[in-house]
Amino acid sequence: SDEVFRIHGLEVGMLPSVDTALNFYPGPARRTLEQAIEHCQAQGEPYDLELPFVRANGQPAWIRAIGQREPSAKGGQRLVGIFQDITESHRLHARLDEDQARLRATLAALDDGVITCDARGQVTSLNPVAERMTGWTTENARGVDVGSVFRIFDGDSAAPATNPVTLCLQSGTTVHAQNKTVLVARSGAESGIQETTTPILDRDREIKGAVIVFRDVTEQRALAREVDRKSAFDELSGLH
């Protein structure tokens, strides 16, 4: 088709030989495609490859090459394929990978714990602080209900606290810190925390998940209790 000539950067009707067509693929990519074609012809196994490509003018591109063996109308077998230019899609995916790498680096540098969840309330990632405070790694926690990873209790009553992710996903709004929340790690270690849970929305404002950001306030609460204790003692002793 005309599109195939455009992808190659050739004039319409300038049909290259098979060997010339393969030369549009740089070294390793050419060998990968040749092996896939040979295996398809010999074994009948179809292929679906994404490969780097260099147009006739030297411009780099990415191509999706799909092929399968099928019976020929004249008898025997023939190879039928589809050839797609996926350069822009590949560029967008590469840019997304870069953005995600920068986001991971940013989250890793935060002093706060960060847990992200999908729309079902299942964990998708934890940053290093969250891993340390919960005792879960991203690898172990991925796909687990967030309530099993982010185990929180009321610091006064010791009763289980309401899961903020559930509230966030139901309301579609930010859920702020509950009263004196205590996080219990897998090891049983307890940390006083302040948390904020925010919905993750797509461009159509549909809820795609939630992110919990929390910080360790154990020392601040201990200091506040000590101040309260001393104040109460001073009042009882008549000292001011």
Mean pLDDT of 76-101: 81
The H or E element spanning position 69 is strand 60-71
Residue 82 has pLDDT above 90, yes or no: no
> Which residues lie closer than 8 Å to 201 by C-beta, 6 or more apart?
172, 207, 208
Distance CA 63, CA 46 (A): 17
Distance CA 226, CA 238 (A): 18
Across 59-63, 101-105, 220-224, least confident range: 101-105
pTM of structure: 0.58
Distance CA 141, CA 122 (A): 9
Rg (CA), the chain: 29
Query: What integer pLDDT is reported at residue 233 of this predicted model?
Result: 57
Grade residue 177 by pLDDT with cuts at 50, 70 and 90: confident
111 CB neighbour count, 10 Å cutoff: 7
Query: What integer pLDDT is reported at residue 78 of this predicted model?
Result: 81
Grade residue 20 by pLDDT with cuts at 50, 70 and 90: confident
Mean pLDDT of 51-66: 90
Q: Are 236 and 210 in contact (CB under 8 A)?
A: no
Query: What integer pLDDT is reported at residue 17 of this predicted model?
Result: 75
Residue 114 has pLDDT above 80, yes or no: yes
Q: Are 215 and 221 in contact (CB under 8 A)?
A: no
Residue 178 has pLDDT above 60, yes or no: yes
Instruction: State the residue for tokens 């025997």.
Output: 76
Query: What integer pLDDT is reported at residue 239 of this predicted model?
Result: 52
Q: Which of 134, 144, 115 is closest to 210 using CA atoms?
A: 115
